[in-house]
Structure 1
Amino acid sequence: MVRCPAALPTDHTPCPGPVTITVLDADNAGADGCEHHAARLLAVLDRGRVFALPQTPAGAAHRVFKAAAPQDVRLHRLADAIVTPPATPR
């Protein structure tokens, strides 16, 4: 079974959809993944960020952020987590 790069080694669930999301950690290391695995990866990161790939349907990054966040997270953090692609290092 082939799974997306965002799937954690301990998560044996299959990918329910295509790779549409990139999750970045605090050091800008990242992995592309399906919404399901991207949300699980984002949930375990400290200061993780998420953005949608170009072919992604509208609202995908928001769905991933919402699925990964605890229910008591304030809405102002949403703007911090949904970002544009990182600049290419020079």
Structure 2
Amino acid sequence: MARCPATLPTDHTTCAGPVAVTVLDADNAGADGCEHHAARLLAVLDRGRVFALPHAPAGAAHRVFKAEAPQGDSLHRLADAIVTSPATTR
């Protein structure tokens, strides 16, 4: 089953609804995603932002922003799953 571009590599959950938002990181690199995967991606980004796509249901970006962040160990596993480009320095 195809999943949205916002799905982290180690996240094996299915999408919850259509692609509705764009999540951007501090460098404006982004991915479109369903609300479920966008919230998970946003939770592991430093200074991430979320924007509703034009066809998104009302309140989509707000729901993603307010979604609970993963707790404890799972947050660290999600953070480790983010793939950065070789040009990215930390």
TM-score range, shorter chain: 0.7 to 0.9
Q: Which runs of 5 or more residues in structure 2 are unaligned?
A: 71-90
Whole-angstrom distance in 2 between the partners of 1:57 and 1:18: 10
Identity %: 87
Residue 25 of structure 1 corresponds to 25
Q: Which stretches of structure 1, 4 residues or more, deviate above 6 A after TM superposition? A: none
- Residues 19 and 35 in structure 1, CA contact (< 8 A), matched pair in contact too: yes
Whole-angstrom distance in 1 between the partners of 2:15 and 2:23: 16
Deviation at 1:29, TM superposition (A): 0.1
Matched, 1:43 2:43: yes
CA RMSD of aligned residues (A): 1.3
Whole-angstrom distance in 2 between the partners of 1:13 and 1:69: 15
Residue 65 of structure 2 corresponds to 65
Deviation at 1:3, TM superposition (A): 0.2
Q: Which runs of 5 or more residues in structure 1 are unaligned?
A: 71-90
Deviation at 1:66, TM superposition (A): 0.2
Give the TM-score normalised by structure 2: 0.74
Residue 11 of structure 2 corresponds to 11
Whole-angstrom distance in 2 between the partners of 1:14 and 1:64: 16
